[in-house]
Amino acid sequence: MTTRILTGITTTGTPHLGNYAGAIRPAIVASRQSDFDSFYFLADYHALIKCDDPLRIQRSRLEIAATWLAAGLDVDRVTFYRQSDIPEIPELTWLLTCVAAKGLLNRAHAYKASVDKNVEGGEDPDAGITMGLYSYPVLMAADILMFNAHQVPVGRDQIQHVEMARDIGQRFNHLFGNGKEFFVMPEALIEESVATLPGLDGRKMSKSYDNTIPLFSSAKEMKNAISRIVTDSRAPGEAKDPDNSHLFTLYEAFSTPEQCAGFRSDLLQGLGWGEAKNRLFTLLDAQLSEARENYLGLIERPADLEDILLAGAQKARRVATPFLEELREAVGLRSFRTVVQNADTGKKKTAKGARFVSFREDDGSFRFRLLAADGEQLLLSRNFADGKAAGLVSKQLQQGGELDLRSENDRFTLWLDGECVADSPVFADAAARDNAIQTLKLALAPQQD
């Protein structure tokens, strides 16, 4: 079974060594595993909650997209897109908002922390709190549930968001599923071994502390930053304590076990801090120079980045668009054409609760699915130039009559007037295919009211 993993990437600030070691590098390694279907998105809607500087948002999106690609993300293996390029996500956010309990959102850590800070400062509890911050967990739930991710890599401080996505998804399934589980229940994937790197001053490397080493700064800038790493006062020749050295922790995060063992030994034998910093720079520069060159090239070609992200959005929407149509159908946001057809003079109706779901592709063509009562897809139509043509075919199928079904290995096709108009999914074997054909015939068999 393929496991779908979804990773959101914050789009505020410039990526630094801590981001790379703690998130980017392990995520890219994981994306190369054959049993993973990896989705990576730039969480630029989320960024608007924390940042009201348009230029910073614009620049950060560019830098972070270029960073992931330069670091080795293979867009042919993964789905890489901007959150803001998927219109189905905000629509799903609203559907989920309508079932999310206010009490659940009241318990969100970020909201509670802001309220507590206001109360401690003698302010109104909700002073400065936007609806963006308050409803943040619903948007995150939509990010996850839109693509039915099985696992979501998060830090321990974000486990609650995945749990809330589960709660909201379960509520939707209960209200509208009629026995079908629209949403997979995601699991938080906690990476216990992920590195947390110290910054220049020894605290956690963070933009908030202004103690970072930018990932793709020039060689000169990186060397200058490394020279400012705080060390103790032990002179050259005195034994150093690697286990309490921030510089050693940084070296360890980027070295092989053999390199790390040699560096530890040299520190214990009195290697001077100046030379130790030079070795760290040499190590980092060797590892990052090629990626830095790729990054700078991408930054100078923003149109290429745009094309890559738009291609990723199209790939993501091939999943999101038909799924959202199913969800719209489930909550009652249905085409009037379907309603009229089903009520037309009361003569005939599609049996056993089967339903047609129409949708529009990115290229402007129209298609429909025929879903059985349990939600199983029985047919997916070919592309039609307009909605009227697609509607006429679906209406014709509901009129009864002999079906021209043609079996092909473990699938079948449906023909009308000598033209193939729809295809079945691929089934496990011929027996499963034949069972599906019988289900289809029963579903399309007209019944008198």
State whether 294 and 415 are in the same domain.
no
State whether 360 and 344 are in the same domain.
yes
Instruction: Assign residue 346 the CATH number of its domain.
Output: 2.30.29.80
Nearest to 215 by CA among 299, 288, 283, 302: 288
Does the annotation place 12 within a ligand binding site?
Answer: yes
State whether 290 and 357 are in the same domain.
no
The answer to the question of residue 329 being in a domain is no
The answer to the question of residue 205 being in a domain is no
The answer to the question of residue 80 being in a domain is yes
Q: What does the pLDDT look like over 209-251, one tens digit per residue?
A: 899 999 999 999 999 999 999 999 999 999 999 999 999 999 9
| Range 363-370, long-range pairs (CB < 8 A, 24+ positions) | 366/390, 368/393, 368/394, 369/322, 369/325, 370/394, 370/397, 370/422, 370/440, 370/443, 370/444
Q: How far apart are CA 43 and CA 66, in angstroms?
A: 15
* Residue 225 domain boundaries: 216-298
- The per-residue pLDDT for 448 is 52
Query: What backbone phi and psi angles, to 5 degrees, belong to 111?
Result: -65, -45
For residue 34, give both structure tokens.
């054959």
For residue 24, give both structure tokens.
């980017």
Contact by Cβ (8 Å): 10, 47: yes
Instruction: Assign residue 249 the CATH number of its domain.
Output: 1.10.240.10
Does the annotation place 11 within a ligand binding site?
Answer: yes
State whether 294 and 305 are in the same domain.
no
State whether 78 and 58 are in the same domain.
yes
- Per the structure, the count of domains in the chain is 3
Q: What does the pLDDT look like over 57-67, one tens digit per residue?
A: 999 999 999 99
Nearest to 172 by CA among 284, 331, 329: 331
Does the annotation place 206 within a ligand binding site?
Answer: yes
Confidence of residue 386 (pLDDT cuts 50, 70, 90): confident
Does the annotation place 67 within a ligand binding site?
Answer: no
State whether 70 and 183 are in the same domain.
yes
The answer to the question of residue 322 being in a domain is no
For every residue of 1-51, DSSP letters joined together read -PEEEEEEEE-SS--BHHHIIIIIHHHHHHHT-TTEEEEEEEEHHHHHHH-
Q: How far apart are CA 61 and CA 58, in angstroms?
A: 5
Q: How far apart are CA 336 and CA 323, in angstroms?
A: 19
State whether 178 and 248 are in the same domain.
no
Q: How far apart are CA 327 and CA 95, in angstroms?
A: 9
Does the annotation place 245 within a ligand binding site?
Answer: no
The answer to the question of residue 105 being in a domain is yes
Does the annotation place 208 within a ligand binding site?
Answer: yes
State whether 266 and 413 are in the same domain.
no
State whether 120 and 253 are in the same domain.
no
- The per-residue pLDDT for 447 is 56
The answer to the question of residue 352 being in a domain is yes
Q: What does the pLDDT look like over 321-353, one tens digit per residue?
A: 999 999 999 999 988 776 544 544 444 444 445
Does the annotation place 22 within a ligand binding site?
Answer: no
Does the annotation place 365 within a ligand binding site?
Answer: no
The answer to the question of residue 210 being in a domain is no
State whether 145 and 171 are in the same domain.
yes
State whether 161 and 62 are in the same domain.
yes
Which residues 6+ apart lie within 8 Å of 210 measured at CB?
none
For residue 323, give both structure tokens.
């799924």
State whether 307 and 291 are in the same domain.
no
